[in-house]
Amino acid sequence: MRNILVSGGTSGIGAGIAQAFRDRGDSVTAVGLASPELDAATQDPAFKGITLKALDVADQAAVDAFAASLTQLDILVNCAGMIRRGAEYEMPTFLKVLDVNLAGTMRLCLACKPLLAQRRGSIVNTASMLSFFGGPAVPAYSASKGGVMQLTKSLAVAWAKEGVRVNAVAPGWIATPLTQALQDDTARSQVILDRTPMARWGTPADVAKAVLFLVSDQADFITGVILPVDGGYAAM
């Protein structure tokens, strides 16, 4: 049984990943902001068997204290993130998005790296299709996800000698509460489906399958990879 930590694991893609590891028999801790969302997750039967805790990845002291409380860790999955459409052209919002999505990923990677090195463990970060494309309404989100892509490659090279593999998934259009408004807008959803060769919205389970592969023995010679999980969107 492996010990898994999933940030942003109380909803959306992160929740799907945490549940997939749980279903494989792993010991899973999912962390998220202290919020009604976390409270709801604690009452949701879908999270049965997953340890749920509050953690703000933008709080360095909190991240360090949380990592210090762990005794063993095999896999870290960084899914914590935020997006603020339109408002990201305001500098305070721009910096906040970068602090959570990019710096937050780095904080957890650094804090957990000693434990991961002991176990020759693995990290999977969450990039995005906007690691490759510009997003005119979300300059901070796009910049942060481009940064996550390059951070993943840099850490993969730096930590390979210690046996820590670092990869990332790059989800495309995934059906989560974050994209619910787009799913509900028939015209906008159709534009997305027309651009996606597999002609459907992805699911958190689709992303989880890719994560499970990247941390498996079948991928033990793979590091520094950014794996699109997008139904072919990036190939168009």
Which of these is catalytic: 66, 141, 159, 233? 141
CA 103 to centroid of chain Cα atoms:
13
Q: How far, in Å, CA of 130 to CA of 166, rounded?
A: 19
Question: What is the layout of strands, in order, in the sheet containing 165-171?
Answer: 50-54, 27-32, 3-7, 75-78, 122-126, 165-171, 226-229
Give the number of other CB atoms < 10 A from CB of residue 163.
14
Contact 174, 206 (CB under 8 A): yes
Whether 89 is catalytic: no
CA 114 to centroid of chain Cα atoms:
20
Helix count (H) and strand count (E) of the chain?
A: 9, 7
Give the number of other CB atoms < 10 A from CB of residue 133.
13
**In terms of Cα–Cα distance, which of 75, 126, 85, 120 is closest to 102?**
126
Q: Give SS3 for 120.
A: coil
Q: How far, in Å, CA of 30 to CA of 47, rounded?
A: 9
| Catalytic sites, residue numbers | 141
